[in-house]
Amino acid sequence: MVFGEAFLIMKIWILLGSIMLSQLSLAADVPGSSDLPEVERPSGSDIIRYAEGTRSAIRFPLERVERVNNRLVIDDELDIEGHVIDITYELGPREDYAIYMNKLESGLRQTGAEILFSCESRGCGVSGLWANSLFKVRELYGPNGNQIYFAVKLAGDTPRYLSAYGIERGNRRQYVHVRLVAPGIEQPGFQGAQILLADGRVILPVSFAGNRVSPESRAKIADIAADLQSLNPEDFAVVAYRAVTPSGTLNDAIDQS
């Protein structure tokens, strides 16, 4: 009888321990995050960063990423407007990022996905640009020789694009960043990032009252900021011109500056 009670107590403790471990595993993911149905989660991984929203000028690289004359240069890329989901996984100790990336790419290909581009090691370019300029996730920065990337167009009637970037850092920690983009989602009225990328300049729809932004333009500032946040802040500048002559036009202000 005593042996039976001890065995029952031991089973209860094992059950409680399993529940606590399960809860700790779930708690390791950032709040509000979730996996993509198209992507099998890396074994023993945690979601350390998660972002979701509608954006314009989403840069989807189809070539190596480099910096030329202090500018981010990608010879081939998709410039997409739509809904984007970004997930960053920190892999567990038993998962190898290279094996996982190969398995993920192979699995997507078997579902009918079209491989648009893939690279590894220094063929992907500069790791710091992927981490800080494109994905804006500092954990993805590592040796250029330890990176893997691929981009696919998913199967289906609705065009959707998925990319995955894997890296092993100098401290041996491994990360995989997955991005899913669904084009064609309705965008805010102002889409200046597209024009800026195409023409190198764009006139912001903002007017001034004296030395201050006019009241009717203040509501537009949030839309402008949301639109331009897809760009690297180091790659553009916002300049305000004011005409010297009363009732001067923008061209007058530029000429007189």
Domains in the chain: boundaries: 27-183, 192-256
Position with higher pLDDT, 150 vs 221? 150
- Per-residue pLDDT band for 10 (boundaries 50, 70, 90) equals very low
Highest mean pLDDT among 31-40, 186-195, 209-218: 31-40
- Core vs surface per residue 61-90: b (16+ CB within 10 A) or e: bbbbbeeeeeebebeebbebbbbbbbbbbb
pLDDT band for 8, please (50, 70, 90 cuts): very low
Give me the percent of the chain exceeding a pLDDT of 90: 53
Q: In this structure, which topology does domain 27-183 adopt according to CATH?
A: Protein Transport Mog1p; Chain A (3.40.1000)
Contact, 118 vs 146, CB < 8 A? Answer: no
- pLDDT at res. 187: 45
Confirm if 37 and 87 have CB atoms less than 8 A apart: no
Residue-wise pLDDT for 201-217, tens only, equals 666 666 665 566 666 56
Terminal alpha carbon distance of the chain: 95
> 29-33, 116-120, 129-133, 195-199: lowest mean pLDDT where?
195-199
- Kindly report the pTM of this predicted structure: 0.64
Query: For residue 181, what are the β-bridge partners?
Result: 84, 161
What are residue 254's phi and psi, to 5 degrees? -65, -45
Q: In this model, does residue 82 exceed pLDDT 50? A: yes
Residue 127 has pLDDT above 90, yes or no: yes
Tell me: pLDDT of 161 over 90: yes
